[in-house]
């Protein structure tokens, strides 16, 4: 279950941000996971809850957005988001394609609870 190692990295990242800003706790965070990473969002959320115990991120709400893969044909230039694991261009059937997206793992938003005077 690679979701747990990803969850521990997310906890470390958001706790680091919370500490830099003098926050009391992390309220919520959002991340984007490319479909090619094969992350199961529900498993990542469960793993995050476990990894966040006894940290500033305990109880934080994690939202996971899955990003579909994007491929570009090097021959005709078509950019598509395939719905299956096709390896050919849907326009010209070339096999000369490049993966342009769908393999990312990004922490896109963090909401912190801070003191009013900060």
What fold is seen in the domain 2-113?
Answer: hypothetical protein PF0899 fold (3.30.2320)
Q: How confident is the model over 15-24, as pLDDT tens digits?
A: 999 999 999 9
* Three state DSSP letters for 67-96: ECCEEEECCCCCEECCCCCCCCCCCCCCCC
- The whole model's pTM is what? 0.83
Q: What is the mean pLDDT of residues 89-100?
A: 90
Q: How confident is the model over 72-85, as pLDDT tens digits?
A: 999 999 999 887 77
Q: What is the mean pLDDT of residues 16-42?
A: 95
The residue with tokens 């919370």 is 18
Categorize the per-residue pLDDT at 48 as very low, low, confident or very high, splitting at 50, 70 and 90. very high
Cβ-Cβ contacts under 8 Å for 75 (sequence gap 6 or more): 89, 92, 94, 96
Give residue limits of the domains in the chain. 2-113
Nearest Cα to Cα of residue 33 among 42, 46, 20: 42
């Amino acid at each position: 279950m690679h979701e747990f190692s990803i969850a521990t990295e997310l906890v470390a990242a958001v706790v680091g941000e919370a500490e830099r800003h003098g926050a009391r706790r992390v309220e919520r965070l959002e991340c984007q996971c490319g479909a090619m990473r094969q992350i199961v969002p529900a498993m990542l959320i469960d793993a995050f809850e476990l990894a966040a115990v006894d940290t500033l991120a305990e109880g934080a709400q994690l939202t996971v957005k899955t990003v579909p893969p994007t491929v570009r044909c090097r021959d005709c230039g078509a950019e598509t988001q395939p719905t299956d694991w096709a390896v050919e261009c849907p326009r010209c059937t070339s096999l000369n394609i490049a993966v342009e997206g769908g393999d990312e793992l990004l922490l896109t938003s963090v909401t912190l609870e801070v003191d009013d005077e900060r």
